[in-house]
Amino acid sequence: MKSISKYIEEKNNIGEKVFSVFLTAGFPNKNNFTQLALKVLDAGADMLEIGFPFSDPLADGTIIQYSSQTALNNGINLKTTFSYLKEIRRETGKPIILMGYANPVLNYGVKRFADDAISYGANGVIIPDIPIEEYDNFYNNSFNGLDTILLITPTTSNDRIKIIDDKSKGFIYCVSVSGTTGVQYQDKSRSIDFIKRARNAVKKNKTLVGFGISSAEDAIQFSPHCDGVIVGSAIIKSLMNDDSNFKNTMSLVSKIKNVL
Amino acid sequence: MQQLTEYEFPDINGHFGKYGGKYVPETLITPLRELEEIYLSLRNDEEFTNELLKLNKEYSGRPTPLTFADSLTDYYGKGKIYLKREDLCHTGAHKINNALGQILLAKKLGKKRIIAETGAGQHGVATATVCAKFGMKCFIYMGEIDIARQSLNVFRMKLLGAEVIPVKSGSRTLKDATNEAIRDWVTNISDTHYIIGSVVGPHPYPMMVRDFQSVIGKETKQQILEAEKRHPDYIVACVGGGSNAIGIFYPFINSGVKLIGVEAAGYGLDTDKHCATLTLGREGIFQGMKTYLLQNRDGQVSEVHSISAGLDYPGVGPEHSFLKDEVKADYYSVTDDEAIKATQLLSRTEGIIPALESAHAIAYLEYLMPKTKKEDILVVNVSGRGDKDLDTIKNKLGYSLE
Ligand SMILES: Cc1ncc(COP(=O)(O)O)c(C=O)c1O
C-alpha cells in the first residue's frame, strides 16, 4: 500500500489534483455503505475519508451533524466502522482516512485504535479536536504507521503553520473558511488568499483544501492553489435525497473529479 | 490560616493534572490564545481589578452577606450553618460575577458581539444584563426544553434586549446550547466574544471563570473570620459545571476545610436519569476539555436529567475532576425529590427560597448534619434564588402546598 503523500505526489505528477470524498460511516444506510463507498471511488474519488460518529460534533455544521446522528441511530460505532474499512480495503488500493472526534478514540483506547485502524487498512486519521497543543499527550507515539493529518485555518499564523507542517503526516488539511463544515463562503477571494498564504508557508506536506467546497465551480477556483480538494457536506447533502443507486451523488463526484 | 501548601493550577497549558487542556478545532486556538494573553495581562492590573471591584460593589451589590441560619441550625440541632447569599446578587445568582469580568475582557478585546449558552437561564440573564449595561449585541443559545422550563428567564433576557436562539439539536438542553455557542464562535470569531457560563470548556475558561467566581470564597473567608474567628469545617456547594462551587472552594483548597460538591442524582443513581458526573462518569474529552463525563461504552455522551436546568449537564469543570482524584474535595449527589424537599425546608425555616440548583447543596445537609458536632461550622453556598423555578416546583408539588 502506497503512503498518502506518495499517492498525492504521483497524481500531481501526472497533472491531476486529488479529490477526497468524506462519507459518514453507515450513512445513509447501514446495509449498503460498503457498496456506496466503492461506487464513490469508481466515480472518480481518489481518496476516502470515513467519518465515525460522535454525539457532539462541534466542528460540524447541520448536515454532518445530521449524518452523524443518523449513523448513531443506525448503531454505528468504531467496531462497525472498522468492519466497513476492512471490506472497502479488500477492493481498493486508494488511501482511506478515518475522521472523527477524540472521545470515541479515547474510549476505544488510543493505541488499540491505531493498531486496529492499521490492520484493517487505514492510511491516516483526522481528529479535529486534537490540536498540536494536545498532540503529544493524546497520540503518545502510538500512531506509528498511521498518518496523523492536522488542520490549518484562516486564523492560523504562518509561524504556527510551520509547527503544524512539521507534525502533520500525509498532508495538511486547509480549512478554507473559519466555521463549521458545510459553511457558505461570504467572501471566496479571502479564502483563496488564505490558501495561497498557506501553500507558501507549508514546506513539507501536500495541501488539500476542504470545508465549504461544494461544487465543480468551487473546485476549479481552488485547485490551482493546492494539491487537492476535499468535499464532505455537499456529498452528504446529495445522499440525503438520492435514489437507491446514488445516481445524483455519483454524477456530482465525477463532475468534480473531471475539473481537477 | 493561609493555604497550607501551594496550589497552582492549571499549568501554563491549562492542565489540571491530566484534565483540562484545549481540545478544540484549530480555528479556536488563536482566539483562545488572545483571550488568555489579555486575561493574564489584566488579572493583576490595578485599573482592571479596581473596575471590576467597583462594578461588583456598586452594580451587583457585593459583598453578599454571610447569613447565620439559626432556625436551620436548630432544626438539625448539630453544627452551625451559615449561608453564603449569592441569591442576593444583582440578577439573582452568582453567574453575574463571571459575566461582569468577561464583559470587561470583551471590551478590552474590542469585541462587539457577545454570545453565551444558558441552562437555567441565570447565566443568560447575567450576560444579557452586562450586555445591556455595556452596549453590546447579545445572543443567547438555550435548549428548547430549558426554554420551556425557565420561561420567566427567557422573558427577562428578551426584556434586556438579548436575542434568545432556541437549540433543537441533541437533548435540547445545556450541553447542546453549549455546542451551538461554540459553533457560532468558530464562525464569527473576528467580532465575537463567547462568555462561557461555568468553569468548563477549553483553557483559559476554567481558570478565568474560577478566578472571577473566587470572589465568593474570598468574601466568605473574611466574613467567617469576623463571625467565628476561624475557618469553617465544611463548605457545601452544588455542582453543575462547577463555577459556584469552585468559586467558594478555591481560597480554601489545601487549608483543611472539608470541601463538598453536590451533584444532581435526578431520579436516582440507579436510573439513567441523573447527571452525577463525578460520581458515575469517567474520563472523556468533551467541549474542549478532558474531564469526567457521563458517556456510554462507545464514548457517546449520555442524555442526562435533573429537575434543575442549571445542573442538567453531562460534563463538569476539569478542576473538579482533578480535585476529586487528588481527594482535595469530595463529591456526592442528591435526587430531584430531595432537592424539592430542601427547597421547602429552607423556605420555611429561613425565609429564603433557593434556586433548585442551590437546593441540592441544602439537601445534602440531611446526610452531613448527623455527622457534625455542635461546635462544627458549615458554610453552604446559596448560589441563586428560586423565583425562576416556581413553575417547576409548583408542578412537582401538584399545587398541594399543605
Ligand atoms: C443558581 C445556580 N446555581 C448553580 C448553577 C450551576 O452552575 P455552576 O455549577 O457552574 O455553579 C446554576 C446554573 O445555571 C445556577 O443558575
The residues that bridge with B263 in the sheet, in sequence order, are: B333
**Taking CB atoms and an 8 Å cutoff, what residues of chain A touch B298?**
77-78, 104, 107-108
Contacts of B300 in chain A (CB under 8 A): 53-55, 72, 104
- Write out pLDDT tens, residues B78-87: 999 999 999 9
List, for residues B94-124, the tens digit of each pLDDT value: 999 999 999 999 999 999 999 999 998 999 9
Residue of B161, B202, B160 lying closest to B181 (CA atoms): B202
Question: Which residues, 6+ apart, have CB-to-CB distance to B173 below 8 Å?
Answer: B119, B143, B145, B146, B304, B309, B312, B313
* Local structure of B292: helix, strand or coil: strand
Contacts of B169 in chain A (CB under 8 A): 65
- Tell me which chain B residues have a C-beta less than 8 angstroms from the C-beta of A133: 13, 21-22, 29
Q: Which residues, numbered 151 to 170 in chain B, qualify as contacts with chain A under a Cβ-Cβ cut-off of 8 Å? A: 169-170
Mean pLDDT (chain B, rounded):
96
Residues 6+ apart with CB under 8 A from B358: B86, B87, B238, B244, B381, B382, B383, B384, B386
Ligand 1 center from residue B117 Cα (angstroms): 12
Average pLDDT of the segment spanning B358-378: 98
Asked whether the beta carbons of residue B31 and residue A155 sit closer than 8 angstroms, the reply is yes
| Option in A65, A105, A129 nearest B25 (CB) | A129
Query: Is A49 a catalytic site residue?
Result: yes
**Using CA positions, which residue lies closest to atom 1 of ligand 1?**
B384
A26 contact B CB<8A: no
Domain boundaries, chain A: 4-259
- Choose among A82, A92, A97, A133: nearest CA to A5: A97
Q: What is the pLDDT of residue B248?
A: 98
- Whether ligand 1 lies within 6 angstroms of the CB of B157 is answered as no
pLDDT profile of chain A (260 residues), mean per 10: 94 98 98 98 98 96 96 98 98 98 97 97 98 94 91 97 97 95 90 97 98 95 97 98 96 98
Q: Is A86 exposed, middle or buried (0-12, 13-18, 19+ CB in 10 A)?
A: middle
Minimum CA–CA partner of A158 in chain B: B30
Task: Provide the pLDDT confidence category of residue B366 given band limits of 50, 70 and 90.
Answer: very high
B186, A129: Cβ pair inside 8 Å?
no
B239 lines ligand 1 (CB under 6 A): yes
Q: Give contacts of B21 with chain A, Cβ < 8 Å.
A: 133-134, 137
Do B337 and B363 meet the contact criterion of CB atoms below 8 Å apart?
no
**With an 8 Å Cβ cutoff, is B35 touching chain A?**
no
Provide the pLDDT for residue B4.
54
User: A128 to chain B: nearest residue by CA?
Assistant: B25
- Chain B closest-CA separation from residue A162 CA (Å): 14
Instruction: Say what the pLDDT of residue A185 is.
Output: 87
Among B93, B327, B108, which residue's Cα sits nearest to residue B213? B93
The number of beta carbons lying within 10 Å of the beta carbon of residue B267 is 15
Size of interface A-B (CB pairs under 8 A): 108
Best of B191, B203, B285 to substitute, by most chain A Cβ atoms within 10 angstroms, is B285
Do the chains contact at B187 and A179, CB–CB below 8 Å? yes
Taking a C-beta distance cutoff of 8 angstroms, is the pair B243, B260 a contact? Answer: no
pLDDT digits (tens, 9 = 90+) for B296-305: 999 999 999 9
3-state secondary structure (DSSP) of residue B119? coil
**Residue A43: predicted pLDDT:** 98
| pLDDT level of residue B400 (50, 70, 90 thresholds) | low
Q: Which residues of B311-326 are buried (b: 16+ CB within 10 A; e: fewer)?
A: bbbbbbbbbbbbbbee
Please tell me the distance between residue B35's alpha carbon and the centre of ligand 1 in angstroms.
23
Per-residue pLDDT for B3 more than 80?
no
The per-residue pLDDT for B1 is 43
CB atoms within 10 A of CB B153: 28
Q: Does A12 touch chain B (CB under 8 A)?
A: no
Contacts of B208 (CB under 8 A, 6+ apart): B35, B39, B101, B102, B105
User: CATH homologous superfamily of domain A4-259?
Assistant: Aldolase class I (3.20.20.70)
Mean pLDDT of B216-236: 98
- Residues A58, B293: C-beta atoms closer than 8 Å: no
B1 Cα to the center of ligand 1, angstroms: 29
Pocket test for ligand 1, best of B90, B238, B246 (most atoms within 8 A of CB): B238
Ligand 1 atom nearest the C-alpha of B118 is 14
pLDDT, tens digit, 9 for 90 and up, residues B156-189: 999 999 999 999 988 899 999 999 999 999 999 9
The rounded radius of gyration (Å) of the Cα atoms in chain A is 17
Which site among A52, A55, A156 would you substitute to test the B interface, given the most B Cβ atoms closer than 10 Å to its Cβ? A55
Ligand 1, atom nearest to B123 Cα? 14
Partner residue facing B26 (CB), from A54, A106, A131:
A131
Using CA coordinates, name the residue in chain B closest to A161: B26
Tens of pLDDT, residue by residue over A29-40, are 999 999 999 999
**Confidence check on the interface: ipTM exceeds 0.90, yes or no:** yes
* The pLDDT value given to residue B170: 86
- Mean pLDDT confidence for B245-253: 98
- Closest chain B CA to residue A77: B298
Q: What are the distances in angstroms from CA A141 to CA A129, A148, A172, B261, B290?
A: 18, 11, 19, 37, 19
Residue A1: predicted pLDDT: 72
Q: B277 in ligand 1 pocket by Cβ < 6 Å? A: no
The one-letter code for the residue type at B381 is N
- Catalytic residue at B383? yes
A158 DSSP assignment: H
pLDDT by residue (tens digit) across B31-80?
Answer: 999 999 999 999 999 999 999 999 999 999 999 999 999 999 999 999 99
For residue B370, give Cα distances in angstroms to A41, A201, B75, B78, B380. Answer: 69, 66, 12, 7, 16
